[in-house]
Amino acid sequence: MFLGGTISTPPASLRLRSTLNPQNAVTQSSSQATFPAAMQRKPPSYSISDEDLESRGFLLRRTSEGLNLDQLNSVFVAVGFPRRDTAKIEVALQHTDALLWVEYEKTRRPVAFARATGDGVFNAIIWDVVVDPSFQSCGLGKAVMERLIEDLQVKGICNIALYSEPRVLGFYRPLGFVSDPDGIKGMVFIRKQRNKK
Angle in degrees, CA 168, 169, 173, rounded to 5: 130
The alpha carbon of 125 is separated from its chain's Cα centroid by a whole number of angstroms, namely: 7
**Total Cβ atoms within 10 A of residue 169:** 13
Do strands 177-179 and 123-131 pair parallel, antiparallel, or not at all (unpaired)? Answer: unpaired
Q: 112 by DSSP, 3-state: which?
A: strand
Active-site annotation holds for 46? no
Active-site option among 46, 104, 163, 172:
172
Q: Measured between alpha carbons, how far is 174 from 170 in angstroms, rounded to an integer?
A: 7
* 102 in Cβ contact with 60 (< 8 Å): yes
Sign of CA dihedral 171, 175, 176, 181: negative
Question: Please, are residues 101 and 112 in contact by the beta-carbon 8 Å criterion?
Answer: yes
Q: Which residues are catalytic?
A: 172
